[in-house]
Amino acid sequence: MKNIIYTKSIIKPKEVSDGIRISIMSRHKLNDGNTLDERIIEGISFDEWLKEFSPPLKLIGAYYRKELDGFQEFERKYLEFLRTEEMIIKVKQFSKRCSKEIITLMCIEDTAEFCHRRLFAEELQRYNSELKVVHR
C-alpha cells in the first residue's frame, strides 16, 4: 500500500509486504563499534542504506554513554538535526518517495518506541500529511 511508511527492526525476517527495506542506521556493527553485526546482511536484512538519515555518530555515542538526559534529549537533538536546512530538503524529497513506493525503515531496536526510526517516520509525516506510519 502506498502512503504508508513501515518501521521494523532490521533483524526481523524479510516479508514481501515490507517492500523496499531501507536501513537508516549509522553503522551495521555491534556496540563495540568495530565488529560487524553478522545478523545484518545487505540484500537480505536491507535493500538500501541511507546513512544520511541516521543520527550523527556523536549524538549516538552521547546517548549510549548516558551523557544525555534520556531519550527525550536524544529525540530533541535528532529532530534538530533533521530540521537543519540541508536535511529538510532531503527529508521532503524522501517523503515524496514514500508516496510512490512501499518502504520499511529499518534500525536495530526491537520496537520503535525508543528508536530514531519512529522519529524519522513522524518527521516524514510533517511533509506528507497523507503518510501513515505503521510500526511492525
Confidence band, pLDDT 50/70/90 cuts, at residue 88: very high
Q: Give pLDDT tens digits for 10-64.
A: 999 999 999 999 999 999 988 777 888 999 999 999 999 999 999 999 999 899 8
Phi, psi of 91 (to 5 degrees): -65, -45
pTM for this predicted structure: 0.93
**From its phi and psi, is residue 43 left (phi > 0), alpha (psi between -120 and 50) or beta?**
left
